[in-house]
Structure 1
Amino acid sequence: MPKQPRVTRARALEGFRLELGFTDGTSGIVDARRWIVGHGGVFGPLNDPAVFSQVAVDPEAGTIVWPTGADLCPDVLYQEARSGSAARDVA
């Protein structure tokens, strides 16, 4: 089974959205509110837009991470980016 593409680029947008790029050339915007807003633990601090905007790509894991220790599954992010109305395939 082929490996799912991994995140290569991430930028935080307003409204807890993320603009993401993947190893296969796909890019899209993912709404992360359902994973962030109202959640505690490592996700709690991400309710602050200033902290949310500190998103970075972990090239070893192929996904996005925050300084709080939070991360999101790259497979889920890829599916969300592909199914979103803003998703576009540039490969």
Structure 2
Amino acid sequence: MFHKVQKVKALPNFILKVDFINGICKYYDVKPLLEIWQPFKALKYTNGLFNLVKVDVGGYGISWNDDLDLSCDELWENGYSESL
């Protein structure tokens, strides 16, 4: 089952606020990805890139550019309901 993304907002400290079309809001911490996946390091070292996050067409995920994206399922399953 897809939990489509309606809106995404970049917050300080590499946190994303993700609003899903079912009305649920979750927060997703991108920091662990910065250490695990080489392409995600660009979010840390490219000034302003993290803030360019957008919802992909159809709401099936989010992306920053052609190389950096996350699926709606990843955001749903590993997001949390309260802000840190």
1:37 Cα deviation from its structure 2 partner: 4.2
Alpha-carbon distance change, 31 to 23 in structure 1, aligned in 2, over 3 angstroms: same
Q: Higher helix proportion, which one?
A: 2
Post-superposition CA distance 1:25-81 (Å, at most 9, x none): 11121111111246423x231113511111000023521101252001211201223
- Aligned partner of 2:71 in structure 1 is 73
Amino acid at match of 1:13: L
Amino acid at match of 1:73: S
Query: 5+ unaligned residues in a row in structure 2: which ranges?
Result: none
How big is the alpha-carbon RMSD for the aligned residues of Structure 1 and Structure 2?
A: 2.1
Query: 5+ unaligned residues in a row in structure 1: which ranges?
Result: none
- Aligned-pair identity in percent equals 26
1:85 Cα deviation from its structure 2 partner: 4.6
1:46 to 40, 43, 67: 43
- Aligned partner of 1:86 in structure 2 is 82
1:35 and 1:73 map into 2 onto residues whose CA distance is 14
Moved over 3 A (4+): none
- The count of corresponding residues between Structure 1 and Structure 2 is 82
Larger radius of gyration: 1
